[in-house]
Amino acid sequence: MSTAQIYQLATTERKQQNRFRELRSLATTGGAEISLDGDRKLINFASNDYLGLTKHHELKKRAIEFTEKYGVGLGSSRLVSGNLNVFEKLERKVAQFKGSKTALLLPSGYQTNATVLAALGRKRTLLASDHENHNSITTGIQLTQGEWQRYSHNDLGHLETLLRKSPDSTKWIVSESVFSMDGDVSDVSALSHLATKYDAAVYIDEAHATGVLGAEGRGLCYDANGVDIAMGTFSKAFGSFGAYIACSNEMRHYLINFCAGLIYSTALPPPLLGAIDAALDLIPSMNEERARLLDKSETLRDQLNKLGFSTGNSKTQIIPIIVGTDAEALSLARYLEECAILAPAIRPPTVRDGEARVRVSLTAVHTDDHIEHLLSSLKRWKASG
């Protein structure tokens, strides 16, 4: 078989398994509605723009101001000549927001997990990682020289067994605070407690909690003592792009010296630094939006459960409608699209076999009418079948 045929075969197999992925071309996105090419409008239940900030005038304004002042790019990595003084100002703001000693800004959230974890996993290091952690975490751990062990999802007993048995001198517990595909949460305080007991450190991914959960949207690590590293992204509730690590001064120094994603990658561009700066000013004051979002999420979950849909253990704005087979998830997503609703089918390998789902992400900008339309469409789907 030729090289080209090998890759073609893999793609064909994906198609046969109902797991083929395709890019959709969108004319507009952001907010609660999007337009496909050709201008067909869909209600967007597929976005992580939880507070509706992607088009907020303050973020756009500050992005433009920073562009005018500093240009559109920084031309090199932060260690070479890209470390505009704005970074340190923003890092102080992030540290204050997260209640940490300091912070470090990096390019995307994916890059952060993949390369920070890679830097943490030295020889004789255990990385005990929740089974449902995001692909970026798994990728980072697989790049390490440490020992990767997965514990069953949110199973503190299993985690404790791994920690107790580990002969490694350094141990990390790695978890998300809000799980991206299930919308359930981890018990960050309990993880910290176990870490203290077994002399381990804790790494928490707050991608879906930052801006949405905790007092003033500070996430679930803010009040939990004993979290050594909280990472989060600016690509979800923060409305733009980029990521942060909230950590100690010593850890910041270590990462500046050992994290390839910081050392070998061009610094985040000024327009993004501007958008991040504006979002940091706005987000703590958005309690009303957060309360509305979480309230709507609870009501939607209740209604879905009443209609007989399983939403798993979701407790947040991420609400899976778990249907089982890949074909069923695809069929439901297609049906919803006919009803002018965008909610993606999520299939293995992203989720476990037999747990394919349509994933609904609510945002503060969804109206009651949007949610009502989703529910009535799902009701018709149930009735038909």
Ligand X SMILES: Cc1ncc(COP(=O)(O)O)c(C=O)c1O
Judged by the rule CB under 6 A, the positions of this chain that interact with ligand X are 108-110, 113, 134, 136, 176, 180, 205, 207, 233, 235, 243
Closer to ligand X by Cβ: residue 48 or 100:
48
Work out how close the CB of 298 gets to ligand X at its nearest, in angstroms, rounded to a whole number. Answer: 21
Concatenating the DSSP letter of every residue in 194-221 gives: HHHHTT-EEEEE-TTTTTTSSGGG--SS
Angle at 347 between CA 1 and CA 7, to 5 degrees: 15
Look up residue 353 and give its DSSP letter: T
Is 134 noted as a catalytic residue in this protein? Answer: yes
User: Both tokens of residue 198?
Assistant: 């077994």
Is 44 noted as a catalytic residue in this protein? Answer: no
Work out how close the CB of 109 gets to ligand X at its nearest, in angstroms, rounded to a whole number. Answer: 2
Enumerate the H helices of the chain as residue ranges. 3-16, 57-70, 85-98, 109-120, 135-142, 156-165, 188-197, 249-258, 260-263, 270-282, 287-306, 326-338, 368-384
Work out how close the CB of 244 gets to ligand X at its nearest, in angstroms, rounded to a whole number. Answer: 10
Helix/strand number for the chain, H first, E second? 13, 14
Work out how close the CB of 297 gets to ligand X at its nearest, in angstroms, rounded to a whole number. Answer: 17
User: Both tokens of residue 289?
Assistant: 């939006």
Identify the sign of the CA torsion 50, 317, 193, 150: negative
Work out how close the CB of 47 gets to ligand X at its nearest, in angstroms, rounded to a whole number. Answer: 11
Work out how close the CB of 164 gets to ligand X at its nearest, in angstroms, rounded to a whole number. Answer: 27
Is 48 noted as a catalytic residue in this protein? Answer: yes
Identify the sign of the CA torsion 47, 52, 57, 60: negative
End-to-end CA distance of the chain: 44
Q: Out of 205, 228, 289, 355, pick the active-site residue.
A: 205
Closer to ligand X by Cβ: residue 91 or 176:
176
Q: Out of 49, 132, 168, 176, pick the active-site residue.
A: 176
Give the DSSP H or E segment for 175: strand 170-176
Q: Out of 236, 296, 315, 370, pick the active-site residue.
A: 236
Is 158 noted as a catalytic residue in this protein? Answer: no
Assess contact for 183 and 177: CB atoms under 8 A.
Answer: no
Closer to ligand X by Cβ: residue 205 or 355:
205
Work out how close the CB of 279 gets to ligand X at its nearest, in angstroms, rounded to a whole number. Answer: 13
Closer to ligand X by Cβ: residue 271 or 381:
271
Q: Residue 261: helix, strand or coil by DSSP?
A: helix
Closer to ligand X by Cβ: residue 132 or 168:
132
The amino acid at residue 365 is: V
Q: Out of 47, 180, 297, 314, pick the active-site residue.
A: 180
Assess contact for 232 and 109: CB atoms under 8 A.
Answer: yes
Closer to ligand X by Cβ: residue 230 or 278:
230
Q: Out of 134, 296, 366, 370, pick the active-site residue.
A: 134
List of residues 6+ apart from 104 with CB closer than 8 A: 91, 244, 245, 247, 252, 255, 256, 262
Closer to ligand X by Cβ: residue 66 or 203:
203
Q: Residue 360: helix, strand or coil by DSSP?
A: strand
| Residue number closest to ligand X, CB atom | 109
CA-closest candidate to residue 232, choices 113, 367, 125: 113
What residues act catalytically? 48, 134, 176, 180, 205, 208, 236
